[in-house]
């Protein structure tokens, strides 16, 4: 399940039990990406705060667009865990006629993306693969695709969050849950 000890839900007490309850899925299970923080509840709280802020709080960048960026960044980082979870979340957010985009993006196919979505994913690719190569021209490209400075900031935050989360998952060996219905849930506090 992971390379380090994890405190299971039934054994959690105090602040950890409260956080597990707060961030659990509808079935009461806690995703492994969160459970790897169980030895340090403050770390779990900080991870969740960053996740909710970057991916779920109100933003002029839609939740679906943020999931697209997350799937792209996770694929590039080789994080199958986050790539799988967020492709499932993306599929839930897309209208029926575009659900195929989640599967295509999971496989690196951006052909069905709008110009705006493609620009955000291109920025995510460059910031993930060559962060030191980002220049004002990359931001100008986002502006040309119709993004405001606030939207650029929010997209950068999503990319940075996934850089962090992917390294937590990969560095600590968080295993993908074996229940498909456990994928792509939304934290209750972000609704």
Q: Which region, left, alpha or beta, applies to residue 120 given φ > 0 means left and ψ of -120 to 50 means alpha?
A: alpha
pLDDT for the residue 191: 47
In the numeric block, which tokens belong to residue 80? 């199958």
- Please name the residues in contact with 134: beta carbons below 8 A apart, sequence gap of 6 or more: 126, 127
Question: Which H or E run contains 124?
Answer: helix 115-129
**Strand (E) positions, 26-178?**
none
DSSP strands (E only) in 126-167: none
Predicted pLDDT of residue 27:
82
- Segments in the chain below pLDDT 70: 180-191
Residue 26's pLDDT is: 84
- Give the residue extent of every domain in the chain: 63-162
Q: Alpha carbon of 111 to those of 80, 105, 107, 114, 142: distances in Å?
A: 21, 9, 11, 8, 18
Question: CATH second-level architecture of 63-162?
Answer: Up-down Bundle (1.20)
What local confidence, expressed as pLDDT, does residue 188 receive?
59
Separation between Cα atoms, residue 94 and residue 99, nearest integer Å: 5
Tell me the C-alpha distance between 42 and 40, whole Å.
5
Give CA–CA dist 44/34, Å, rounded.
Answer: 6
Angle between helices 63-76 and 149-172 (to 10 degrees): 40
Residue with tokens 């806690």: 30
């Amino acid at each position: 399940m992971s390379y380090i000890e994890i405190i299971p839900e039934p054994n959690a007490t105090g602040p950890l039990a409260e956080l597990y309850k707060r961030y659990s899925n509808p079935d009461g299970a806690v995703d492994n990406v969160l459970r790897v923080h169980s030895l340090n509840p403050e770390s779990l709280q900080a991870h969740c705060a960053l996740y909710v802020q970057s991916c779920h709080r109100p933003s002029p960048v839609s939740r679906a667009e943020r999931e697209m960026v997350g799937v792209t960044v996770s694929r590039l980082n080789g994080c199958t865990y986050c790539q799988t979870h967020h492709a499932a979340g993306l599929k839930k957010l897309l209208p029926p006629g575009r659900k195929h985009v989640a599967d295509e993006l999971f496989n690196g196919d951006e052909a069905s993306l709008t110009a705006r979505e493609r620009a955000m994913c291109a920025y995510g690719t460059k910031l993930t693969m060559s962060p030191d190569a980002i220049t004002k021209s990359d931001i100008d490209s986002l502006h040309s695709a119709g993004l405001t400075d606030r939207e650029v900031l929010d997209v950068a935050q999503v990319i940075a969050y996934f850089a962090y989360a992917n390294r937590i998952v990969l560095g600590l060996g968080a295993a993908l849950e074996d229940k498909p219905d456990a994928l792509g849930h939304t934290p209750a506090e972000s609704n």
